[in-house]
A and B are shown apart, each in its own frame.
Chain A
Amino acid sequence: MQKVSYFTVCKNLIKADLIIFKQMFLDKFIDLSIWVVLTTIVTAYIMPYFGLTVDFGVFQLGGLIAATGLLEMGNSNTVELVSDFEGDRVISFNLTLPIPSWLALVSKAGYYFIIYTILSLLMLPIGKLCLWNQFDLASVHYPKFILAIFALNLFYASFALWMASIVPNINKMGQVWMRFIFPLWFLGGFQFSWMASYKTIPSFAMVNLINPMIYTTEAVRVALLGQKGFINFWLCILAILFFASISLYLGITNLRKRLDFI
């Protein structure tokens, strides 16, 4: 019997998942768009009446685009994974395929990476429609923007595996989100830059350097607004890739214990 290439198996695992994503795409797009549109409108058109500068809309859009994958991960993918572990165990079929078992999980992360990337990229034109004159698409550094989107969604895709590995059961999902992920996200520069936090509370800013979210928001903002006032772009990319590697390693190691696979 012929051997099958690992790449073919992984590619088809991802394709099967993408068929399901296609069925749900419109709903996901609408839900995320509502979040982006409302947040952008409030920060760009209402908050300036309370003293915020007008360009805060673009700044906030950077935070929103950077967090799109995180939101999809927390609201949908991790929940699906944990319910599968407790219920249908579709994953157990994948773990007996003619590939090393851990590659089945890497394929799952590959699928998450693709859908987070698609959804994040779509938030850029949505933001433009909301901000209109306040946001010039020509000023975006596209190579940096694409690189940032790829890197941060690679991180969220890996993070999804790790998160699924630490949530003991589906009832605890909300707790893990509120007690762990939400603080990381909210303190991770969603509404402020690292430099601003350093000028205000230096000790908090220094501690925050171990928060991976800070690098995701900073990287996207550099691509949208330029390097000035943000952490160095290449440092952000390196840090994001470092956290992605750690998450992937810990996610697979923990899931190997939890699912007891070879």
Chain B
Amino acid sequence: MTNVLLQIQNITKTYKVTNKTINALKGVSLDIYNGEVLGLLGVNGAGKSTLSSIIATLHPATSGDILYKNSSIYNDLPSFRMRLGYCPQKPNLNPNLTLEQNLLFAGRLYGMNDDQIADRIIVLAKRFGLESYLAQKAEVLSGGYKQRFMIARSLIHNPEFIILDEPTVGLDPHIRRSLWDVIRELKKDGITVLLTTHYLDEAEKLSDRVVILDQGLIKLIDTPDKLMADFKQKNLEDVFLELMNTNKE
């Protein structure tokens, strides 16, 4: 896994909320390797969603750069976006369109022709168990199916790299498990996944490496096994708790 797909270089993000300046990211640097599942962990407010939305090009960084295959993504944003799938924490599908129309337009927006899209819809609907919902409007879906659909939509254009921002938050345990299978399949297909989560069991089971963010800074980056060995803990949750306690002291 030495093939670097994305280099995050010294990213900072500052914003103002009612005259208060918040430093959400304070110089984050990391490499994301081709084909890996990288878990992005941290407590609420650690900067996970801010970082993922900056990599997804939804928001600009205050400073720093992101290199995709050694070239800044900001030099040619549309080309980078063609290679990227983004599934935000909050489902932002169009509630007035059917699932099929949502997928159809998502495909067209990435320059696919209708035949390619139709084939892709069949594949994705089968893979995510959405066949019987295709003719229904997105607003009727339950939380779990909405999340499945969101992942399906972000894959419509066969991206190389997908960002999943808290894809299982608030879902029932059995639905979480079924989404884990989906993420494992993405990895099998060679898609690079950035998985933002605050479920540590999820990160432990799915990630090749994990990044622990705390107050806008990277505390650790390593494989879950290595972290558990270094901290002499049985699971990632205990590693995380020890790390947070150390910080408090």
Task: Report A's interface with B, CB cutoff 8 A.
Answer: 1-6, 8-9, 12-13, 15-16, 19-20, 23, 88-93, 95-100, 260-262
Residues of B whose CB lies within 8 Å of any CB of A are 15, 56-60, 74, 77-79, 81-84, 86, 88, 90-97, 101, 105, 108-111
> Distance in Å from the Cβ of B104 to the closest Cβ of chain A?
9
Set A1, A88, A91, A100: member contacting B95, Cβ < 8 A: A88
Closest 4 CB pairs of A and B: A4-B111, A98-B78, A12-B108, A98-B81
CA distance A20 to B93 in the complex (A): 13
- Which listed residue (B56, B78, B95, B97) contacts A99, Cβ 8 A? B78
Contact at B90–A88, with CB atoms within 8 Å?
yes
A95 to B110, CA, bound (A): 13
In the complex, what distance in Å separates the CA atom of A155 from the CA atom of B111?
30
Residue on A nearest B53 in the bound complex, by CB: A92
Given A16-B105, A260-B15, verify A1-B83 contact (CB < 8 Å): yes
Given A23-B96, A261-B59, A262-B57, A12 contacting B109 (CB threshold 8 A): yes
Contact check, B111 vs A97: say whether CB atoms are below 8 A apart.
no
Q: Are A92 and B111 within 8 A (Cβ)? A: no
Q: Which residues of B contact A98 (CB under 8 A)?
A: 78-79, 81-82, 109-111
Residues A3 and B92 in contact, CB atoms below 8 Å apart? no
Q: Given the interface contacts A12-B108, A16-B94, A89-B90, does A95 sit within 8 Å of B58 by beta carbon? A: yes
Q: A8-B108, A20-B97, A23-B96 are in contact. Are A96 and B78 (CB under 8 A)?
A: no
Nearest CB of chain A from residue B120's CB, rounded to whole Å:
14
Residues of B within 8 A of A89 (CB): 88, 90, 92
Q: Is B110 a contact of A4 with CB atoms below 8 Å?
A: yes
Distance between B15 CB and nearest chain A CB, rounded to angstroms: 7
